[in-house]
């Protein structure tokens, strides 16, 4: 029998490692934030945010190429701005 989402939730909350992080939601949030601050650099955190915001695949070039091939769409980050539009011609001579 395949585990359901409810089963996964129960297993996560009942696990001693999860319970040791904090009794309240605020304690848990502080513990998780401290854990990620130790493991991830500021640059890594910025990269993760950028990839999540653009819904792109985070990984090495080989992984990105595989995702692009499987999905048939771009999986790499794009610049955070739109390219400039060319000036419109008004048809009037200056």
The residue extents of the domains of the chain are 41-77
Residue 41 DSSP symbol: -
* pTM for the structure as a whole: 0.47
Q: How many residues does the chain have?
A: 94
Is the CB of residue 76 less than 8 Å from the CB of residue 56? yes
Q: Tens digits of per-residue pLDDT, 67-92? A: 999 989 888 888 777 777 888 877 66
Is the CB of residue 68 less than 8 Å from the CB of residue 75? yes
Residue 4: pLDDT band by 50, 70, 90 thresholds?
A: low
| Nearest residue to 20 (alpha-carbon basis) of 9, 32, 36, 10 | 32
Q: Count CA atoms within 13 Å of residue 15 on its CB side.
A: 8
Output the six-digit token pair for 76: 């790499």
Q: Tens digits of per-residue pLDDT, 15-66? A: 788 788 888 888 988 988 888 788 888 898 888 898 888 888 888 889 989 9
Q: What is the pLDDT at residue 10?
A: 57
């Amino acid at each position: 029998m395949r585990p359901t989402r409810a089963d996964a939730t129960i297993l996560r909350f009942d696990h001693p490692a999860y319970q040791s992080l904090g009794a309240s939601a605020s304690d848990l949030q502080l513990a998780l934030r401290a854990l990620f601050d130790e493991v991830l650099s500021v640059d890594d955190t910025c990269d993760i945010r950028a990839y999540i915001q653009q819904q792109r695949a985070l990984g090495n070039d080989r992984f990105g190429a595989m995702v692009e091939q499987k999905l048939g769409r771009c999986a790499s980050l794009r610049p955070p701005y739109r390219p400039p539009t060319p000036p419109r011609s008004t048809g009037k001579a200056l």
